[in-house]
Homo-oligomer: A and B are copies of this chain.
């Protein structure tokens, strides 16, 4: 048995100026930058919407991707493979996957999912 749910969305920006990119999205969405990080992303304040939203500096073309969070990454990745997704690569503690419809998305670790709205329990 494990749990998972939609964690949020990452706004991937091909840019040399992450601060400007994050500033645009913060003002567009009305969600201030919450954390600035030296590792190439800035997190927006989206707790009110119960979402994880990041603006991330990337080298590929700009896009938006979604994250699924889970208390058991390996079990969740295996579940998604059975639905037709493919593993692309492991990065630190998370997996990059590709949907059968072509979009990349990530499966990331989460704690306390039993208390989070919208978490599904898979048996």
Residues of B within 8 A of A48 (CB): 117-118
How many copies of this kind of chain does the complex include? 2
Closest CB in chain B relative to A77 CB, distance in Å: 11
**A90 contacts the other chain (CB 8 A):** no
- Residues on the B chain within 8 Å of A50, using CB: 49-50
Cα of A21 to Cα of B21 in the assembled complex, Å: 31
Q: Establish whether residues A66 and B9, one from each chain, have CB atoms under 8 Å apart when the complex forms.
A: yes
Residue from B4, B25, B51, B103 within 8 A of A101 (CB atoms): B25
- Chain A residues with a Cβ under 8 A of chain B: 4-6, 9, 11, 13-15, 20-21, 24-25, 27-31, 46, 48-51, 55, 61-66, 68, 80, 83-85, 99-103, 117-118, 120
